[in-house]
Structure 1
Amino acid sequence: MQVVEKTVKNHFGTLSPRMTRYRETILEAKPYVDAERAILTTQAYQAHQHEQVDVLRAETLVNILEHMSLYIEPDSLLAGNQARQNRWAPIYPEYSMNWVVDELDQFEKRPGDVFYITEETKQELREIAPFWKNNTLEDRGYAAFPPESRLFYDLGIIGADGNITSGDGHIAVDYKNVINKGLKWYEQRVQTAMAKLELTDINDQKKFYFYQASLKVITAVKDFAQRYADLARQQAEQATDPAKRAERLQLAQILEKVPYTPATTFYEAIQSVWLVHLVLQIESNGHSVSYGRLDQYLYPFYQHDIESGIITDEQATELLTNLCLKTLTINKIRSWAHTEFSAGSPLYQNITIGGQTPDGHDAVNPLSYLILRAIAQAHLPQPNLTVRYHKGLSDKFMRECVEVIKQGLGMPAFNNDEIIIPSFIRRGVKKADAYNYSAIGCVETAVPGKWGYRCTGMSFINFPRTLLIVMNDGVDPESGKRVLPGYGKFTDMHHYAELTAAWDKSLREITRQSVIIENSCDLALEQGYPDILCSMLTDDCIGRGKTIKEGGAIYDFISGLQVGIANLADSLAAIKQLVFEQQKITPTELWHALETDFANADGQRIQQMLLNDAPKYGNDNDAVDDLIVDAYQPYIDEIAKYKNTRYGRGPIGGLRYAGTSSISANVGQGHSTLATPDGRHARTPLAEGCSPEHAMDIAGPTAVFKSVSKLATGDITGGVLLNQKMSPQILRSDESCMKLIALLRTFFNRLHGYHVQYNIVSRDTLIAAQKQPADYRDLIVRVAGYSAFFVGLSKETQDDIIARTEQSL
């Protein structure tokens, strides 16, 4: 820890004294469960449940913003809080209450992601629970699942917990318009559109309710800002220090202006962005609500204020670090089943910097550098930071990015313009929009303010478990239930081609079932849980008079997540070589070893052969890499056939594609997966993202890049997530840093890689942190497409991170 602090101080400087104090109060805050939003939501639903659903949702947000507790921390320059205290997690009862009541007494006993709760809060939640019985998104989602598809969900073969227990999120709204035009401009657009309606037309009548709800929400946000302005003035009146009084009066004046009217200064723009970002997450508990290209839309304000002498770089950095700290105050509690897919309580709030302008020029500006500095100084797992890489990105900027990587934040992640932009354009995205894409949440990408929900984040398909079902003639070996027609038992097969033929047919059917599950979730969300503010700030919902779920967004592409790619690759390689080509293991012997989890001497002998005698994905070996490319293709082909629920209702697209951003689902889905032919033990974690299995990538980082680049990255538009791990000692010299930059350029320029991110932390440090967590409170690790405080993770997730291969240059 001392090394990290010294590095930050020497290269990026330190936090200002006030931000240092503020950071300490946030890190010291214990995460409690907060019932306030749940109570206010229940009140609103009881009073307005007779209203049209758009109006009901608007009235709910109005009630919350009007009555929720407010505070402005002494050291914060920005106003806006999600719950009654920083890091407290609100309950969103309209989405799900069953798990909340069931787990009330378990929150403090979790093995990771612990939340505290008072007896008073437990009682408050139990009192409102009866109103929500059979009246939540979860209840409606379950009811919408056809029985055959429900079986795949119940067995954990297809996971979609997050889709029916929370809102959508996975979006970046049009913050550029918010700060340049203000909510007043949106209000005028709504009023103009409303005046043109012909209410005898039922379609126009439906639009009327959305417009009516939008006007209510705009007023609510304006009044919410005014509540903070009043509080700031009250604090000014109570201040004895003239500087503090002037500071709070300035904040009050800003809040009386934004976000309703346009911002004119950098300070106003950041406050406007933060308040809207906050309200979006009060409106809905969908995660991955992201900031978009922060360095692009804030830069004109920064440039103006610097040139006018209104602000200094130090003051601008302080505001940016304040924004980072505020971002961390937002928290979310999930059911334990969902938590296993999102270990570390991540919100995936992503900032994107770098990239290109629509004419192909480098978009890096002085604010891009300042954001890197702020992220390094704040030293937090949130917000996520993504750098858009392109061939013209300078070595100077890349070097600064590497300096941030050295801080051990797991950031920035890199997304590759050279693969993402062409992929978007091929799918019908206009060139100017494609060049304006940003990261959304983890590794997924979309056009801010023009793209619908969940560009990635739909259902999770467990590839290794699917393979076991295929090998067992369509019967799930975990439950003994038949889930697929079956195309023969593995023990009766004589050729590898028989297995791949069965895999192809089976995977297509499971893909089909995932679409049915996803459509059921989307149907329930559309019918009962529209996000009015989020829709209003996404083009062209106002123009069409539709919420996002109804087809209001300009673009609407989605993707599910495929889990255990490396396990599938290594399993197929072992089967092909050891069973069918070399015949060292018979099909019966292998199946028995899997059923018994490699018990006894013979099982252990077979396991060692699987681990050591077959090629492994991640080592640039075509013998295994080509197998996973071929095995993945049926999913890529099949998912492209199915439209989403917005197809033909307005947006460009309405289609699906593949994605590998499995977050921490590799741990949760590993629990329900028996032993696999790659030698993995039953119930242990699967490989995450598209990263190789732990300790199997032994040929170095270049070989990993080559293996990953063989995947159909141009078709996996939902994101090809690659985690890499290095020891801090590797990057101590300038020469090593430049080697890493050269390696990244090779991966992106020549191999057409999609994404990569780095954990720069030693195995010894992680083990020490397990033993003495109090000494490593702010040790940060990259879990998947996001970072988290290491000591807050369950031991199982910690062990999974420790076991990852530590690469060298």
Structure 2
Amino acid sequence: MVQVSPRIEKLIEHLYASDPRVEAERAVLITESYQQTESQPIIIRRAKALQHILENMKIVIRPDELIVGNLTTTPRGTQIFPEFSNRWLEDEFDRIEKRTGDVFLIDQSTKEALSETFKYWKGKTTNELATELMAPETIKAMDAGVFTVGNYFFNGVGHISVDYKKVLKIGLKGIKEEARIALDGLDLGDPNAIEKSHFLEAVIISADAVITYGKRLAQKAVEEAVVATDTNRKEELNTLAQLLKRVPENPAESFYEALQSFWIIQAVIQIESNGHSISPMRFDQYVYPFYKKDVEGGLLSEDKAQELLDCLWVKFNDVNKIRDEASTKAFGGYPMFQNLIVGGQDKRGLDATNLLSYACLEASAHTKLPQPSISIRVWNRTPDSLLHKAGEVSRLGLGMPAYYSDEVIIPSLENRGICLEDARDYGIIGCVEPQVGGKTEGWHDAAFFNIPKVLEITLNNGYVDGKVIGLHTGTVESFATFEQLESAFKEQMTYFVNLLVNADNAVDVAHGTRTPLPFLSSMVENCIDKGKSLQEGGAKYNFTGPQGVGIANTGDALLAIKKLVFDQKELSLVELKQALDTNFGRGSLTPTSAPEPVQESNSLDLTKLSSEKLVELLQGLLANDSSNSAVATKPTTTANVTKDGEYIRSLLLNGAPKFGNDIDEIDYLVREVALVYCEEVQKYKNPRGGTFQPGLYPVSANVSLGLNTKASADGRYEGEPLADGVSPTSGRDVSGPTAVLNSVAKLDHHIASNGTLLNQKFHPSAISGEQGLRNLGSLVRGYFDQKGMHVQFNVISREILLDAQKNPEKYKNLVVRVAGYSAHFVSLDKSIQEDIISRTEQNF
């Protein structure tokens, strides 16, 4: 086994020496450029803005680095991208350093510089245009918590993997030449010739800008070599300078050049747009020829190659971004979702595992950092040795790698119109989203759709907090059968998915209009040929992928209602709704959802009520608080209501099976809930000429969406997190890990082609020793044999997590799986920490 170089620990220590800092440099530079190019086409303005940034930003080579290219002056700092949104940041200036998660430092001079630049952008951001394009009822649904499009509403799109292989093969000089040939060959009679020429010119400007950035890094390496006192460091810097004079302008010729060229591309994509999930994907495939030539050919030692790879792994963690405070509760832990996947099949259907696949897993084991988010593709010919290596990394407790099934993902992509050869070459973007690298604009994470909220709205006849948000599909008194309630729920789902599509398409158009990305587009197939940016539909494959959240809660709730209300008649829908409105007697955090019906008279004739209704009314009056009394100082709740609410909750929890225990009745109802969402989403098209495809994963939005959702009929209290992805609700899966996998495998993962997410948490003892590794491998293979799509593991004890909450200073390096990504536990908002702690701890 290759040992960890002492250099790696030094790099990590330097990277995490302090909290990340907000910087104003990019915001100032892009504003300067935009002010100078106001009369020019937007795609040209974007290219010239990137050029201005890369020619003027401060160049930094951090101590001991072998892979260089900075996005910010300070380690893990964040630049600001005012062209997407900025008002929220100015509103939060004084709270950024006081957050409970994702803390950033910001000094007064930075605040002042940013405030000054923001004046220029008023009325010019993608956020403002997207809002203007949305229907009023769409905005009402978003405000009510039915769905959120926060990722792209405030930020760049990201969620892309470019053709890194092409850059390594022909260099940016080759891409420039392609654009030049296309520009010279334009048919001037083409009605789109003007727009195409602008795009191609922008590609050339952008490529030149990145070449200049590489040469500025080379010059910085020369300058540092001159003053270096350590002989070894002087030699390292001189070697770097020679590399950077060649790449990324020219094709890479060595493993070291390939890594350095790759990193500059990775960094500049982030500088051009602050979208996250810029994913290397099948890194072990397109970099392997250089590894094979140098390492297997004896030109580079295995130890040195691993050190270079480990240095790159540390560098991934230098990328950061600031999100609004609300989003930190959905994407906590400074995540950047740079997904790198190993193994799987090649385009011909043969196993693609190679020595670099193992070296990549080893790099994650050496660095023990959240980035890159490493994954593994598994099929029936995956070598046991690769699965064994993956298991060794899993039990380090990093929550990585995530495991993906070729047997499900390849046909699911084919079903979306992707050819077999491309489908076999898929990787993972961000959390769990399958995509063909270098050919796709996937718009993954386009929204998070709160399915339990739709059931809540159904039970309230379209109301949320007294306001009409949905359709009037019937009061609870009007539902005589479960089928009527189910039909109303599906009708509301159809309505809200339509609004979700309106929101996504509005944001899509806004990005295409105001923030096209010429450099990013130049490295995706078909854009140069079409003369179109990604944002205008230039990619070979175009999708929009919104996620459904809370299928387990919704299925568990519907079955509880069916059994307890309609089959066994243990309670009425009216009684259930009252319990939900009062948060099972605890008192609702928000007003009741539906307004009281208007009475023609202020008086009520008690003589017209039956004795049963009279008793019910009097009990209700006794249960109500005395807030209308002139002498009341605070609401009161009687013991009787608390008991009744908790009794009803107990019925809901214990009176019907719960998803995750391998019980067909509930498992297939959850499957049906998921299909209601997925089948509706896939009906729609996007403005880029592509289609919508559904996913079933929340990142960690199940926590924030839960905060905005009232008590639900699965027994969940108001404000508690929703179920995580396709995982069972925490604590309800009581029959062991295999039962969970059996339940989740019954879902139709093929239709959820934008990805499904299954989290499992194991006590470390469960996979200790060789037998533990074999058990884990068998569990993965068994689940994938049943057509599950994805699974990932947190291997850590509850006791450690609780201690980390109490003593964060002892656990600064503790990395855990949050959702489709890993993060340092102590950097997470407490609500996300609690969600991780509450997950069922499995054992064999």
- What TM-score comes out, normalization by structure 2 length? 0.92
Structure 2 counterparts to residues 545-564 of structure 1, below 5 A? 545-564=531-550
Of structures 1 and 2, the larger Rg is shown by: 2
SS at structure 2 position matched to 1:346: coil
Residue type at the aligned position of 1:459: A
SS at structure 2 position matched to 1:28: coil
Aligned residue in 1 for 2:703: 667
Question: Retained in 2: the 8 A contact 1:405–1:758?
Answer: yes
> Which of 682, 691, 699 is the equivalent residue of 1:640?
682
Aligned residue in 2 for 1:396: 385
Aligned residue in 2 for 1:735: 771
What do the CA deviations read for 1:560-590 (whole angstroms, capped 9, x no partner)?
0111111111111111111111111211111
Aligned residue in 2 for 1:8: none
Question: Retained in 2: the 8 A contact 1:161–1:337?
Answer: no
- In structure 2, what is the Cα distance between the partners aligned to 1:45 and 1:558? 29
Question: Retained in 1: the 8 A contact 2:329–2:831?
Answer: no
Aligned residue in 2 for 1:651: none
Aligned residue in 1 for 2:481: 495
- In structure 2, what is the Cα distance between the partners aligned to 1:201 and 1:358? 36
- Which aligned runs of 4 or more in structure 1 are off by greater than 3 angstroms? 198-202
> Which of 815, 827, 831 is the equivalent residue of 1:792?
827
Question: Retained in 2: the 8 A contact 1:197–1:205?
Answer: no
Aligned residue in 1 for 2:273: 284
- In structure 1, what is the Cα distance between the partners aligned to 2:584 and 2:3? 53
User: By how many angstroms is 1:309 displaced?
Assistant: 2.3
User: By how many angstroms is 1:130 displaced?
Assistant: 1.3
What do the CA deviations read for 1:436-481 (whole angstroms, capped 9, x no partner)?
1001011001000001132x211111001110101111112xx321
1:705 aligns with 2:741: yes
Aligned residue in 1 for 2:504: 518
What do the CA deviations read for 1:533-556 (whole angstroms, capped 9, x no partner)?
111100010010001121111111
What do the CA deviations read for 1:267-302 (whole angstroms, capped 9, x no partner)?
000000000000000000001110020101111100
Residue type at the aligned position of 1:329: D
What do the CA deviations read for 1:58-84 (whole angstroms, capped 9, x no partner)?
111111111111111121101101111
In the alignment, structure 2 segments of 5+ residues that lack a partner are 586-641
Aligned residue in 1 for 2:645: 603
- In structure 2, what is the Cα distance between the partners aligned to 1:732 and 1:315? 31
User: By how many angstroms is 1:29 displaced?
Assistant: 3.0
Aligned residue in 2 for 1:138: 127
User: By how many angstroms is 1:557 displaced?
Assistant: 2.2
Aligned residue in 2 for 1:457: 445
SS at structure 2 position matched to 1:458: strand
Question: Retained in 1: the 8 A contact 2:745–2:788?
Answer: yes
Aligned residue in 2 for 1:471: 459
Aligned residue in 2 for 1:616: 658
Residue type at the aligned position of 2:722: L
- In structure 1, what is the Cα distance between the partners aligned to 2:442 and 2:769? 43
Aligned residue in 2 for 1:175: 164
- In structure 2, what is the Cα distance between the partners aligned to 1:553 and 1:694? 40
What do the CA deviations read for 1:3-35 (whole angstroms, capped 9, x no partner)?
xxxxxxxxx655311111111111223211111
- In structure 2, what is the Cα distance between the partners aligned to 1:173 and 1:58? 18
* 89-98 or 308-317: bigger deviation: 308-317
Question: Retained in 2: the 8 A contact 1:198–1:205?
Answer: no
SS at structure 1 position matched to 2:560: helix
User: By how many angstroms is 1:558 displaced?
Assistant: 2.3
Aligned residue in 2 for 1:427: 416
SS at structure 1 position matched to 2:58: coil
Residue type at the aligned position of 2:703: V
Question: Retained in 1: the 8 A contact 2:399–2:817?
Answer: yes
Aligned residue in 1 for 2:715: 679
* 129-138 or 523-532: bigger deviation: 129-138
In the alignment, structure 1 segments of 5+ residues that lack a partner are 1-11, 648-653
SS at structure 2 position matched to 1:89: coil
Structure 2 counterparts to residues 184-195 of structure 1, below 5 A? 184-195=173-184
Residue type at the aligned position of 1:610: L
- In structure 2, what is the Cα distance between the partners aligned to 1:294 and 1:251? 22
- In structure 1, what is the Cα distance between the partners aligned to 2:287 and 2:801? 37
- In structure 1, what is the Cα distance between the partners aligned to 2:57 and 2:301? 35
Question: Retained in 2: the 8 A contact 1:640–1:656?
Answer: yes
- In structure 2, what is the Cα distance between the partners aligned to 1:631 and 1:688? 15
- In structure 2, what is the Cα distance between the partners aligned to 1:30 and 1:369? 32
- In structure 1, what is the Cα distance between the partners aligned to 2:97 and 2:346? 48
Aligned residue in 1 for 2:614: none
How many percent of aligned residue pairs carry the same amino acid? 41
User: By how many angstroms is 1:642 displaced?
Assistant: 0.9
* 634-643 or 558-567: bigger deviation: 634-643
1:204 aligns with 2:204: no
Question: Retained in 1: the 8 A contact 2:678–2:695?
Answer: no
1:439 aligns with 2:428: yes
- In structure 2, what is the Cα distance between the partners aligned to 1:492 and 1:353? 55
Aligned residue in 2 for 1:803: 838
Question: Retained in 2: the 8 A contact 1:168–1:453?
Answer: no
- In structure 1, what is the Cα distance between the partners aligned to 2:91 and 2:191? 42
- In structure 1, what is the Cα distance between the partners aligned to 2:48 and 2:466? 48
* 637-646 or 485-494: bigger deviation: 485-494
* 377-386 or 144-153: bigger deviation: 144-153
SS at structure 2 position matched to 1:724: strand
What do the CA deviations read for 1:638-693 (whole angstroms, capped 9, x no partner)?
2222111122xxxxxx1112101210111111111111111111112111111111
1:762 aligns with 2:797: yes
User: By how many angstroms is 1:49 displaced?
Assistant: 2.1
Question: Retained in 1: the 8 A contact 2:72–2:79?
Answer: yes
User: By how many angstroms is 1:344 displaced?
Assistant: 1.1
- Please give the root-mean-square deviation of Cα atoms over the aligned residues, in Å: 1.1
Residue type at the aligned position of 1:740: L
Aligned residue in 1 for 2:579: 593
Aligned residue in 1 for 2:616: none
SS at structure 2 position matched to 1:90: coil
Question: Retained in 2: the 8 A contact 1:563–1:662?
Answer: yes
* 609-618 or 264-273: bigger deviation: 609-618
Residue type at the aligned position of 1:713: H
